Amino acid sequence: MKRLFIAVILIACICIPAVAEEKACSENLLENAPYNDEKMGKRKLVDEDHLLLMQIALKPGQALPEHKANANVHFIVLEGEVTIDLAGKVFVAKTGDLVPVEYKTLMNISNKSEENTTFVVLKTPSPGQMEK
């Protein structure tokens, strides 16, 4: 049931804007994950005032730069596992996990596993709207 809920949210976030703009809704987040041999892979899926939806792809040993959450953030791990440090609280999130992150929380996210990992990042509202 949890996976169905996650799938419905992702479909709604990607397909509703696509339908409104008369685009095909055919993006497969697992087949087209933005892996990069040199650094963290990323791409924007939705960029609107009320929502920024991005996909991050990490190969083993890769990490995001340490930073503070610039919006209300949720991660959904699509494949693999990531080690997450939220202001000193360290844990591993695996496929299917939903991780909330409060605005301005200091975080580190890394792939310490032997497998590729990809996850989506939902930011609400879009970071540009947080300071308005």
pLDDT tens for the chain, 132 residues long, are 454 444 445 555 555 454 445 555 677 888 889 999 999 999 999 999 889 999 999 999 999 999 999 999 999 999 999 999 999 999 999 999 999 999 999 999 999 999 999 999 999 877 777 766
Q: Which residues of 112-123 are buried (b: 16+ CB within 10 A; e: fewer)?
A: ebeebbbbbbbb
Bond from prior residue into 125 cis (ω within 30 degrees of 0) = yes
pTM: 0.79
Q: Where are the beta strands (DSSP E) in 49-115?
A: 51-58, 67-68, 72-79, 81-86, 89-94, 98-101, 106-110
